[in-house]
Structures are given as structure tokens and as C-alpha cells.
Amino acid sequence: MSIKELIEEPKVVVTYSDRIREIVTKMRDNNQWVVPVVKDKEVIGILSYNDLLRKRISPESKVINLMSPLLSVNEDDDIQRVVAKFYTTKARAIPVINNKRRLVGMITREKLLAYFLNSGDFAKTKVREYMNSPVITVNAEDSVARARWLMSNNNITKLPVMEEKKVSGIVSARDIVDRLYSSGGKKKSSILTEEERLMALPVKEIMNYPVVTTKGDESVEKAVDIMLSKKISGMPVLEGEYLVGMFSGIDAISIIAKKYQMEIPIEAKLIGELKQGDMKALIDGILERYLSRLEKLTDIINFKVTFKEESKSEGKKLYQVTARAVTKMGDFVTKDSDWDPVTAVRKAVEKLEERVQKELRKMETSRRKPKAEES
């Protein structure tokens, strides 16, 4: 199938020299989570709510200081390629470019979900089969700063807000970002004071309620229909009044990926107690989140992580983690150690991400040099 019927014209397209303050306002007003960044008619990157959440800079800064490397699909790609890109990167929207890197349009996650919903691809599947569990949550009295940290650290954009073990609200990256960058025109000292005040607020002050929810035995078909009609990216899954999971558009896309027999290219060699229950689930979750971040930078052929016990002390084990990514740009290998295996793996894959970003910057500088010399 041609992807042309999925392509939409983005309402917001920015240049690398535009100011962040102006862009955030346009993103909010047009309900656009991802915007293409262009220079000399070429698409050179993207700016998303995730970028705005992770790194706080002055509203007067230029887009080039915050944008992510280009994540895109080609106008000649087929639907399987598009599904694979959404599945591995967990993107909300992806620019479509031609062979000259010119912008053709955008494909949104919502447009892709609507296509497969109308095609009947979600029939006979239940939410509990594909929901994410256990759920990362935040308490109503926790600070906005903690919610921001949890989202950034776990590569997620929504957190259920808990009060007395029940869901009382939901907070999103957009809720935080829109408030962070709403101080245009103020002096720098005033902006910093306002940011400190916002970060110290309890989450309940900015959360959204009542919350749109679903049930574990609900059909995926109905859940996707609700998300599209309510214009939300995901919702808590309840059994009675208790939270048992989160179901998002990416979970629905994973159903399509399974039909196409796609697999996330992760290989994790765990040892001893790391193979058990919650610890394995925690490590797997970290690896999937970092793979999605790496896939936004370059095509990943294979992503492998191995654990090794380096030493023991007072009953504790020192874990060494080796992370390796095979990409179209080449191979990247990093190592790190910690007494906590989760910290060790996080440090190793963070180093890997930094290496890939550094190589991309070198390649982009090299690619643009001839053009700079000609002018």
C-alpha cells in the first residue's frame, strides 16, 4: 500500500533560527506534538514536546539549540516501513521527505491508528493483552519537578496521578511544557523564579481530571476509537477502581507490528537473579525505552547488552554492563559499572546514546562544509 493517503500537511513548520517561545505557542494552538525543522528548504531535524520537556532553555533561544536529529520516512516507503518506524521510536508524528530531503508532509500516530482501525486490524484483541504493566505513576502531592524527571528518565509523556491508591488525575508532558514556556517577554530572573515556583508545585495543581480510562477486558478496537475521539495518546487501565496498566497508541501499533512479524532488535544477556521477575521486567523496560531514543537518531540493526559480575564486597555484586549498537553508521560500544544493575545498564546505554549523537553531529558538519565553503 502507498503511504500517500496517510500524509498530512503540517500546520507548523519551523526554521532552525526561529525562537522557542513562538514555536511552543504555535504547537499548543495547533495541537501539534512534533514540528519539522528546515534550513535552505531541507529538513534537518525535529522539535517535539519531549525535547522541550527534557532540556529547559530560554524561550528566546533558537530552535537549533534544542531540536533532535531528523527522524523521517521517505515518500516511497511502504506501510510496513512506517509501522516499523513508529513501533521502534514510539514517535507521535514523523516527517515524510523526498530524496532531496525536502518536506512532503507528516504522518501522525493518530492517522496511522485510524487507518488500521477502519481496516479491522484490531478486532478480537483485548486491552490487557497489550497494555503496559506495572505502571510508572506519580502521587498527587509529588512535585511537578518529580513528574518531569520521571517522564524524561523513562521516555514517556503521561503519568497517572495517584491518591489513596486510586487514579485521581493524569499529567502530561504538554501540561508541564506549556507552563514552562508561557513566560515570553519576561526578564531572565523573572523566568527562573517562575520556573522554580512551577517545579515546586504539587502535581495535583496542574493535573487533568476526570480521567478517561479503559478496562482490561475492553476490546482494543473500542479503546483505540476512544483515544482518537478524545484526542488522547493513552489512558489508564482499571480493574474496578484500581490501576493495573496503561494502554497507548504505541501499544495498539505493536499489534500491527506483530501481524507484520516485526521484532524489536534487542538482545539482553542477563545473569543469575537478573533473569527473575520484576528485575528482568525493569531492565527490559529500560532497554526498550533507550532503543526508541536510539531509533530516533539512526536505524538500529541490532542492540545488545551483556552483564558481567566484576567483584563482590560484603554480599554485594559489582555489575559491569557492555552495550553495543550495530547501526547503518557503524558499530558503537560502551561499558559502565555499578553495584545496582539497573543503574549500570542505564549509565551504559546513556553513554551509547551520547556516542551516536556525537557521530551524527560530526557527519552533519562534514555534510554541510562544502556548501559553507562555496558561499
237 and 307 assigned to the same domain: no
Statement: the pTM of the whole predicted model exceeds 0.85:
no
255 and 235 assigned to the same domain: yes
Is residue 349 one of the residues assigned to a domain? yes
What's the sign of the alpha-carbon dihedral 354, 332, 298, 129?
A: negative
Backbone torsion region of residue 353, taken as left when φ is above 0, otherwise alpha when ψ lies between -120 and 50, otherwise beta: alpha
Output the domain CATH number for residue 75. 3.10.580.10
Last residue of a domain, one of 243, 259, 275: 259
**According to the model, what pLDDT value does residue 77 have?**
92
146 and 237 assigned to the same domain: yes
142 and 255 assigned to the same domain: yes
255 and 288 assigned to the same domain: no
- Cα 43 to Cα 14, 30, 49, 52: the distances in Å are 10, 20, 18, 19
Output the domain CATH number for residue 330. 3.30.160.100
Cell numbers of 352, please? 551509547
Last residue of a domain, one of 259, 293, 319: 259
**According to the model, what pLDDT value does residue 210 have?**
94
**Domain containing 78: what range?**
4-107
Is residue 289 one of the residues assigned to a domain? yes
Cell numbers of 289, please? 525505552
- Cα 312 to Cα 100, 316, 358, 372: the distances in Å are 55, 5, 35, 55
Backbone angles phi, psi at 38, to 5 degrees: -120, 155
Is residue 147 one of the residues assigned to a domain? yes
206 and 293 assigned to the same domain: no
Is 71 in a helix, a strand, or coil?
Answer: coil
200 and 145 assigned to the same domain: yes
141 and 252 assigned to the same domain: yes
| DSSP one-letter code for 167 | E
236 and 327 assigned to the same domain: no
Determine the residue type at 338.
D
If one counts the domains in the chain, the total is 3
Cell numbers of 88, please? 521502534
Cβ contacts of 268-271, under 8 Å, gap ≥ 24: 268/304, 268/305, 268/306, 269/304, 269/305, 269/306, 269/307, 270/307, 271/307, 271/308, 271/309
27 and 142 assigned to the same domain: no
**According to the model, what pLDDT value does residue 299 have?**
80
Is residue 68 one of the residues assigned to a domain? yes
- Cα 125 to Cα 147, 218, 223, 250, 254: the distances in Å are 32, 9, 10, 15, 12
Total residues found in the chain within this entry: 375
Is residue 118 one of the residues assigned to a domain? no
- Cα 76 to Cα 73, 80, 97, 233: the distances in Å are 8, 12, 9, 27
Cell numbers of 323, please? 552495550
Starting from the edge strand earliest in sequence, which strands make up the sheet with 68-69, in order? Answer: 14-15, 34-39, 42-48, 68-69
Determine the residue type at 147.
A
Q: From CA 213, how far away is CA 234, in angstroms rounded?
A: 9
251 and 274 assigned to the same domain: no
Starting from the edge strand earliest in sequence, which strands make up the sheet with 138-139, in order? Answer: 138-139, 158-163, 166-172
In Å, the largest CA–CA distance within the chain is: 67
Low pLDDT (below 50) residues in the chain: 372-375
pLDDT tens by residue, 168-204:
999 999 999 988 887 555 555 555 577 888 999 999 9
Question: For residue 3, which of 123, 134, 161, 115 has the smallest C-alpha distance?
Answer: 115
- Cα 82 to Cα 46, 109, 136, 269: the distances in Å are 17, 10, 28, 29
Q: For residue 337, what are the β-bridge partners?
A: 320
Is residue 227 one of the residues assigned to a domain? yes
Is 123 in a helix, a strand, or coil?
Answer: coil
254 and 282 assigned to the same domain: no
Is residue 84 one of the residues assigned to a domain? yes
Is residue 303 one of the residues assigned to a domain? yes
Last residue of a domain, one of 259, 284, 315: 259
